[in-house]
Amino acid sequence: MRWEWRRAPIRSGGNPTGRIADPRDMGRAAVFLSSDASSFITGLELFADGGMAQV
């Protein structure tokens, strides 16, 4: 399957990254949290929402 990326303007309800989420974005977050790189993280809300929590 091939993904096509389209820019989403922030003013029209898009997100700050200017693109839609890819399932791999969610997978990368899950892989990070299950890896040794996150071994010192004890409590966290990880927002994988393209920056919408900051808007």
The per-residue pLDDT for 6 is: 60
What DSSP state is assigned to residue 18? Answer: S
Tokens of 20: 């839609």
Residue 40 is encoded by which pair of tokens?
């010192």
Residue 10, pLDDT score:
46
Amino acid at 32: F
3 state SS of 46: coil
Model confidence over 15-52: pLDDT tens digits?
Answer: 788 777 888 988 998 899 899 999 998 887 888 888 77
